[in-house]
Amino acid sequence: MASGSKIGFWAVGALVVLGIVVWAAASREDQPSLNLKPLIQNEPFAVAVEFEGASAQAGKTQHAHVAVSRDGQPFDVYSSGYALHLIVASSDLSTFLHTVDLHDDGFGVYGADVTFGSPGKYRLWVEVNDASGEQHHGEGAPLIGYADFRVRGEARGVTDQPRVHGKVAQAGPYTVKLDYASLRAGEESEVRLAVQDAQGRVRQLTQPEPNIYVMIGPKGDSNFPFFRHGHSEPALNGNTVVWRETFPKAGEYLLWTTVYVVNGSQFEAVEVPFVLMVVE
């Protein structure tokens, strides 16, 4: 993106100050430029997202530009001690992306490559928060904003990591296990996660790298009434992650988690996408 176009694109984001967001009309939901509506806003950030190309297309890798402003000025996220997350999901939960490795394009604009596996309705979230990763459920985050858009074209055989329907997943040399009773809509549920090695030993999960998770759903609801993103410190002697959630509706939910397993003086990232079935 040339410097002049960066400045022009940033100006779109700068239109949104102190949480006043101008939505694109529904007829423009497939357009490449999106202004984000705040989900949580504790500081006067504004964010706009643009996909390179005429529109978001299935099966193509496109560059997403994320423009961040604060008090009407371009905001340098990284040098200010903040982190920037981009999360994208299709309403059928077949496509999911979560990245914190956005490239600094300058002028308060950050970039990442995204690939849409199938056409349909999508939602993206951008989170600007404290780089320490201490937030849970986004509470205390300066901004979580979202926008809806449509991906055109036909499925091109691009697939995400296979979803795990059940409580046990194999991830390289490790076995990742969930433990929970029946998950019922409207009731608080507890979900636990632990990791075992090939010898069946429960492994320690580590800091300073946070154990990252995203929960979204239910499948097929393009309004995404349930969205959680946070960093969980291991509990229960440092080898189990525990979540307590109340799911609003019955259906399929996606739990995409990355945990860090202690391996000597190092740690290994283990990533698993679980499907959680919530009943009435």
* pLDDT tens track for 10-68: 444 433 322 323 323 333 444 457 889 888 877 788 899 998 876 888 888 889 999 99
pLDDT of residue 156: 64
Q: Which of 149-158, 212-221, 243-252, 271-280 has the lowest mean pLDDT?
A: 149-158
pLDDT of residue 59: 84
> Average pLDDT of the chain?
81
Phi-psi region of 6 (alpha: psi -120 to 50; beta: other; left: phi over 0): alpha
Q: What phi and psi values does residue 85 have, to the nearest 5 degrees?
A: -115, 135
pLDDT of residue 143: 83
Q: Taking the complete model, does pTM exceed 0.85, yes or no? A: no
Q: Which is more confident, 96 or 136?
A: 96
pLDDT of residue 212: 84
What residues contact residue 10 under an 8 Å CB cut-off, 6+ apart?
Answer: 48, 67, 69, 74, 107, 108, 109
pLDDT-derived band at 205 (thresholds 50, 70, 90) equals confident
Residue 193 has pLDDT above 70, yes or no: yes
pLDDT of residue 159: 63
Distance, in Å, from the CA atom of 185 to the CA atom of 279, rounded to the nearest integer, reads: 6
**Within 10 Å of residue 12's Cβ, how many Cβ atoms?**
18
pLDDT of residue 3: 47
CB-CB contact of 243 with 186 (8 Å): no
Distance, in Å, from the CA atom of 66 to the CA atom of 46, rounded to the nearest integer, reads: 10
pLDDT of residue 53: 76
